Structure 1
């Protein structure tokens, strides 16, 4: 019987998943998703290859679980940051700033674009993970348009455009230019939705 990590089976499962997530992240950044196997991930995590199958049947299932976990964590963080913020302009500023905190290892990974090396079903399910984030932005935009803070515009199209802008890697992960890049991105998005004064 494999050794249990942590004080209970549920702790063991959570810690094992976290080790696998960390290994996936590191290997993705180093080689890209296309160039790694579930056995590579298990070895990097220090987990027996057969034990991994108790958690994930294949590497795409692991990828989905990781992205779902990261999205849930980020949505919770975004909702905390937005709590008590009433002004739509400040809400959108907060959204932009929180977006800069997102992990982007899958966008930065070497090799082919992730969407070109996963199955259509995994691609569809990855797309679903963005829906809670899009819904938050949709509500911010709708409130801003209703209050007159933002120009009248098609909300669904604007959600896609704003998120495409924020996913473009215009904000570096660190360094001296990070804050300036976040401020410039924030100003660009606010102007794009029709905020007349950025004060």
Structure 2
């Protein structure tokens, strides 16, 4: 039976998951995702390969589990910012963009923003259990607050608007993944584009004749 680390089984599992996340981050800094296999991850995490299969049946499943765990700080940060109802919606939106892009620098999360990650994104759980959906939901609340307060224009379909703007956020995360030195410039550009699209003076809806 494998040696149990920590004071109980829950602590042991938490430590193993932390080792797996560290191993994957290190490997992603050294080689392409496609060239990494379960054996590489097991060795780097200090696990026997058969033990690793107790945590995930394959690399894709493991990466999804690690991504869900890695995304929790981002979800918590965004929810905390969005929940500050006394703070202007414009400021909250700026802070959410910064927080999301900062959290996206995690090598595990970067997996979701790389070209060819469509299968991984599609495999994420649907509904509120999806961490990215949880973030989108918080952003929708901020947009609604901004429309109500008059800070943002009436965008009409808030869900659709935020879905489209999430593409800008994703593009920002992808850019940072390709060029970490462009972080500050990418944050500024992402904030400018999103806020410009919500600005009351910018109403792109077609006018009725």
Give the TM bin, normalised by the shorter chain. 0.7 to 0.9
Q: Bigger CA drift: 130-139 or 185-194? A: 185-194
User: Does the CA-based 8 Å contact 2:90-2:146 persist in structure 1?
Assistant: yes
Report the Cα offset of residue 165 of structure 1: 0.7
2:207 corresponds to which residue? none
Matches within 5 A, 1:1-199: 1-86=1-86, 87-103=88-104, 104-106=109-111, 113-116=116-119, 123-125=122-124, 128-153=130-155, 154-169=157-172, 172=176, 174-175=180-181, 178-195=183-200
Distance 1:30 1:113, change over 3 A: farther
User: Highest relative contact order (Cα 8 Å, sep 6+), 1 or 2?
Assistant: 1
Which has a greater percent of helix? Answer: 2
Q: Spell out structure 1 runs of 4+ moving beyond 6 A.
A: none
**Structure 2 unpaired stretches of 5+:** 202-209
Q: Give the paired residue count.
A: 190
Relative to the length of structure 1, the TM-score reads: 0.81
Q: Bigger CA drift: 33-42 or 177-186? A: 177-186
Report the Cα offset of residue 66 of structure 1: 1.0
CA RMSD of aligned residues (A): 2.6
Relative to the length of structure 2, the TM-score reads: 0.78
